[in-house]
């Protein structure tokens, strides 16, 4: 009887496919994107080993990892020789993993070429770093990503519409859109403290204009009440968060939205006006050409040509905070005076409840898409196992 049952179970597993527990390795310059995937993948029963090169590792109560060849001092010089050296140094250790996860920066996928294993890339901030000023290396990366995606070895996910479009404009790669969840904070909105936080609070001229526009309502801004190294819970205790964005997508926005925090953003038209007036503060990091102070490309339609108002408008249309399908209930203001009226009239607790209800659906959609990606990785790993 025992052997009959065992044979039946083996037959069923072979017929329907038994999901293997996957082990992934990650080397990262950032803390949040990989933390998001680690939370999701480990929730599915997989393992993620991540080495961090970030100065902000303290946020997750850990130290920056010591890594040879490619580290916080050398990654900007990434080249074929470094990839070969990294492979020789760590091949015995890394061969034990089923695949790799790459977030910041996607060029790190080049480190794993010789392993011939599945690579999941999360494209979140202009994928070409650190090759913005090196056309030959940028072309090297484009060729590798394109070939890997075509062969089904590289699975590219964009966590925002802007970077999805940017990647396609340079490579023709159609990446899947899966917005980040950032449930790793394990913190939720309380709104138990009066006042609002501005994120981030910009320079003196901008602050002066904002203060004038808000008038006596400036007293509602409580940034000074936050400790220097504040926690997510510290932030979410206030009534809401006002954004004057430097980017079209940030992990802090995903964190706050998933925590049901009421959010306030400039309307599209007002944001465009603010950018024209304060280009070094508002939407100042649309391109690494801006961040690195490089000459701005002047080609028409080039998404790095941030001197072109049409390009800036396109980036604005792609911004996470205007994606009402993924992030409804964000409040928009057309002026500082309009913001003042919103802060005095919006029922933040009621708004948070609406966000909470939507976040249940949002979470399931994202998790279902990640299950689909992992099924494809499982298939690729299965092919390798059969060959070996």
- What pLDDT is attached to residue 228? 86
- What pLDDT is attached to residue 205? 82
- What pLDDT is attached to residue 388? 61
Q: How far apart are CA 128 and CA 31, in angstroms?
A: 19
- What pLDDT is attached to residue 10? 37
Q: How far apart are CA 35 and CA 60, in angstroms?
A: 9
Please, where in the chain does CATH 3.40.50 lie?
Answer: 21-178
pLDDT over 60 (residue 369): yes
State what percent of residues in the chain have pLDDT above 70: 94
Closest CA to 255 of 272, 243, 271, 267: 243
Q: How far apart are CA 196 and CA 343, in angstroms?
A: 8
- What pLDDT is attached to residue 80? 98
| 332-343 average pLDDT score | 97
- What pLDDT is attached to residue 20? 85
Cβ density class 129-167: b for 16+ within 10 Å, e for less: bbbbeeeebbebbbebbeebbeeebbbbbbbbbbbbbbb
pLDDT over 80 (residue 107): yes
pLDDT band at residue 8, thresholds of 50, 70 and 90? very low
- What pLDDT is attached to residue 381? 94
Closest CA to 266 of 198, 334, 329: 334
- What pLDDT is attached to residue 12? 39
- What pLDDT is attached to residue 200? 80
- What pLDDT is attached to residue 9? 38
- Structure confidence by residue, pLDDT tens digits, 115-146: 999 999 999 999 999 999 999 999 999 999 99
| 227-236 average pLDDT score | 94
Find residue 199's DSSP bridge partners.
243
Could you give the 3-state DSSP secondary structure of residue 176?
strand
End-to-end C-alpha distance for the chain, whole angstroms: 33
**262 DSSP 8-state letter:** -
| 236-248 average pLDDT score | 98
Q: What is the model's pTM? A: 0.92
Using a CB cutoff of 8 Å and minimum separation of 24, what contacts does 210-216 make?
A: 210/244, 210/336, 212/336, 213/335, 213/336, 213/337, 213/339, 213/340, 214/336, 214/339, 214/340, 214/343, 215/340
Topology of the domain comprising 21-178: Rossmann fold (3.40.50)
- What pLDDT is attached to residue 18? 52
- Structure confidence by residue, pLDDT tens digits, 17-72: 457 899 999 999 999 999 999 999 999 999 999 999 999 998 898 999 999 999 99
374 vs 213, more confident: 374
Torsion angle of the four alpha carbons 191, 195, 200, 202, in this order, in degrees rounded to the nearest 10: 180
Q: How far apart are CA 282 and CA 243, in angstroms?
A: 10
């Amino acid at each position: 009887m025992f052997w009959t049952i065992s044979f039946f179970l083996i037959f069923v597993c072979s017929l329907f496919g038994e999901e293997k527990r996957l082990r992934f390795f990650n080397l990262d310059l950032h803390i949040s994107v990989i933390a998001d995937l680690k939370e999701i993948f480990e929730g599915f029963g997989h393992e993620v080993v991540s080495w961090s090169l970030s100065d902000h590792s303290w946020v997750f109560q850990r130290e920056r990892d010591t890594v040879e060849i490619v580290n916080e001092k050398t990654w900007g010089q990434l080249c074929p020789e470094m990839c070969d050296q990294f492979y020789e140094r760590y091949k015995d250790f890394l061969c034990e993993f089923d695949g790799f996860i790459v977030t910041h920066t996607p060029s790190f996928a080049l480190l794993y070429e010789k392993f011939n294993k599945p690579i999941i890339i999360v494209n979140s901030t202009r994928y070409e770093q650190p090759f913005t000023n090196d056309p030959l290396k940028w072309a090297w990366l484009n060729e590798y990503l394109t070939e890997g995606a075509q062969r089904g070895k590289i699975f590219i996910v964009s966590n925002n519409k802007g970077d999805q479009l940017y990647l396609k404009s340079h490579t023709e790669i159609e990446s899947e859109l899966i917005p980040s969840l950032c449930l790793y904070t394990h913190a939720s909105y309380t709104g138990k403290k009066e006042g609002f936080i501005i994120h981030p609070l910009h320079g003196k001229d901008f602050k002066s204009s904002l203060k004038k526009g808000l008038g006596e309502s400036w007293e509602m801004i409580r940034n000074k009440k936050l400790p220097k190294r504040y926690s997510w819970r510290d932030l979410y205790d206030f009534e809401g968060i006002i954004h004057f964005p430097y980017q079209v997508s940030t992990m802090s926005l995903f964190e706050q939205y998933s925590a049901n925090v009421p959010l306030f953003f400039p309307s599209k038209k007002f944001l465009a006006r603010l950018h024209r007036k304060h280009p070094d503060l508002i939407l100042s990091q649309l391109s690494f050409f801006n961040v690195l102070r490089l000459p701005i490309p002047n080609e028409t339609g080039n998404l790095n040509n941030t001197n072109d108002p049409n390009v800036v408008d396109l980036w604005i249309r792609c911004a996470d905070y205007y994606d009402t399908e993924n992030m409804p209930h964000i409040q928009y203001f057309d002026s500082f005076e309009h913001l003042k009226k919103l802060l005095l009239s919006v029922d933040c607790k009621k708004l948070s409840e609406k966000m909470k209800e939507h976040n249940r659906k949002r979470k399931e959609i994202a998790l279902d898409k990640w299950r689909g990606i992992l099924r494809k990785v499982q298939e690729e790993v299965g092919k390798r196992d059969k060959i070996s």
